[in-house]
Amino acid sequence: MRIAVTGSIATDHLMIFPGRFGDQLIADQLDRVSLSFLVDDLQIRRGGCAANIAFGMGCLGLRPVLVGAVGADFADYRSWLERHGVDCDSVHTSEVHHTARFLCTTDENHNQIASFYTGAMAEARLIELGPIAERLGGLDLVLVSPNDPEAMLRHTDEARGRGIPFAADPSQQLARMPGEEIRRLIDGAAYLFSNDYEKGLIEQKTGWSDEETLDRVGVRVTTLGPKGAVIDRKGEPSLHVSPAPELGKADPTGVGDAFRSGFLSGVAWGLPLERCGQIGNLTATHVLERVGCQEYELGRQVFLDRFAAAYGAAAAEEVAGFVRCHHP
Ligand SMILES: Nc1ncnc2c1ncn2[C@@H]1O[C@H](COP(=O)(O)OP(=O)(O)OP(=O)(O)O)[C@@H](O)[C@H]1O
Ligand SMILES: [Mg+2]
């Protein structure tokens, strides 16, 4: 199954200031702030929703096709993703802009000053799915993850127009998109992904009830944080998928993306929805246990052992025939 994963590709630059921002701000001079914080630590982490999701699928042994826009600075990141099984041949490289970048400085009281530079991401709206489908001999699913909003609408419209099944994953962009556009992203989707908070936001902004949303999508997958996930289809009872026990909690950033990696891998392997949700939950747990979105390793044996412990030997047996982890 050929899956195109569209969405943002970015790096996070995270710095720590060993003092308090508040101490540096002079109350009666806020009209001419000129500050430079000497920071102790700089961590550069690979991120972006599409890159995170494609990375996870690559780690599980698939060959997802990453679709997004980057700058000329993408070379190192590209080679990292390619080494983890991601097809980067359809990534668009901007001639003028840098890859999207999140810059965040945190002080000792956890106050943050951050900026998000969109950069090349704005050019994602120039990407056509047609030539990508042609290169691959067809596409079986297009995932539309958070990205330049114009690009999200365009990929959805194009998939719909070409009769390619698509999965809607509007997540963070729900906050800024109007209801009318959100309806366009979701209507007719084979899969709809969100967390439980975003599920409410979708209903509020589209004006579609729980039932009406189900009328318009094939499968709705709602993640519930530490409670796992719930899978709904019209006319079927809800399927609750319990979480995979975590070995420790380091940083939850990227768990949602990792869930999608696992779930869609199960879909690609033709497994039943319950298994897809379980693979999603266990993949998400790997991210939770590490700081960073792409810092985890998926070892095949460890993955299957943990799968068996969480969901039983028979379920693990069913999955074992497909999981071809990138790491031994
Ligand atoms: N404490 C936890 N223990 C086990 N699994 C967890 C835990 N928290 C999250 N998960 C897993 O991660 C999945 C996604 O979590 P969540 O619903 O918080 O996504 P999210 O809100 O989209 O996160 P983000 O957008 O920050 O990546 C859950 O369905 C579950 O599988
Ligand atoms: Mg999320």
Proximal ligand: closest to the CA of 223 = 1
* Catalytic site includes residue 257: yes
Answer yes or no: are the C-beta atoms of 67 and 88 closer than 8 Å. Answer: no
Quick one: pLDDT band at residue 300, thresholds 50, 70, 90? very high
- What are the tens digits of pLDDT across the range 5-55? 999 999 999 999 999 999 998 888 888 889 999 999 999 999 999 999 999
Rounded to whole angstroms, the Cα distance separating 216 from 134 reads 28
What ranges do the domains of the chain cover? 3-25+38-320
Cα-based distances in Å from 47 to 10, 235, 256: 5, 37, 12
Neighbours of 100 (CB within 10 A): 26
Proximal ligand: closest to the CA of 256 = 1
Of 150, 184, 186, 154, the residue nearest 169 (C-alpha): 186
Q: How many angstroms does the Cα of residue 253 sit away from the middle of ligand 1? A: 9
Mean predicted lDDT score pLDDT of the chain: 96
Rounded to whole angstroms, the Cα distance separating 206 from 105 reads 35
Evaluate the CA torsion angle 157, 160, 161, 164 in order and state its sign: positive
Q: Is the CB of 246 under 6 A from ligand 1?
A: yes
CATH 3.40.1190.20 fits 3-25+38-320, yes or no: yes
- What are the tens digits of pLDDT across the range 155-202? 999 999 999 999 999 999 999 999 999 999 999 999 999 999 999 999
Task: Report pLDDT for 251.
Answer: 86
Q: Is the CB of 256 under 6 A from ligand 1?
A: yes
Rounded to whole angstroms, the Cα distance separating 212 from 210 reads 6
Which residues fall within 8 angstroms of residue 236, CB to CB, at 6 or more apart? none
In the predicted structure, residue 265 carries a pLDDT above the cut 80: yes
Task: Report pLDDT for 70.
Answer: 98
Tokens 């609408």 label which residue? 153
Give the angle 43-48-50 at the CA atoms, nearest 5°. Answer: 145
Q: Is 82 exposed, middle or buried (0-12, 13-18, 19+ CB in 10 A)?
A: middle
Which residue's CA is minimally distant from atom 26 of ligand 1? 253
- Residue 327 sits at φ, ψ, to 5 deg, of -90, 150
Evaluate the CA torsion angle 146, 222, 198, 168 in order and state its sign: positive
Of 292, 273, 160, 165, the residue nearest 222 (C-alpha): 273
Q: Is the CB of 279 under 6 A from ligand 1?
A: no
Q: How many angstroms does the Cα of residue 60 sit away from the middle of ligand 2? A: 20
What DSSP state is assigned to residue 245?
Answer: P
Q: Is the CB of 283 under 6 A from ligand 1?
A: no
Task: Report pLDDT for 63.
Answer: 97
Q: How many angstroms does the Cα of residue 101 sit away from the middle of ligand 2? A: 18
- Residue 130 sits at φ, ψ, to 5 deg, of -50, -55
pTM of the shown model = 0.95
Rounded to whole angstroms, the Cα distance separating 221 from 260 reads 9
Q: What is the dihedral of CA 131, 132, 134, 137, to 10 degrees?
A: 180
* Nearest ligand 1 atom to alpha carbon 287: 12
Average pLDDT rounded to a whole number, residues 114-124:
95
Neighbours of 276 (CB within 10 A): 26
Proximal ligand: closest to the CA of 221 = 1
Task: Please tell me which residue, 50 or 114, carries the higher pLDDT value.
Answer: 50
Q: Give Cα 124 to chain centroid, integer Å.
A: 16
Q: How many angstroms does the Cα of residue 15 sit away from the middle of ligand 1? A: 25
In the predicted structure, residue 325 carries a pLDDT above the cut 90: no
Amino acid, single-letter form, for residue 68:
G
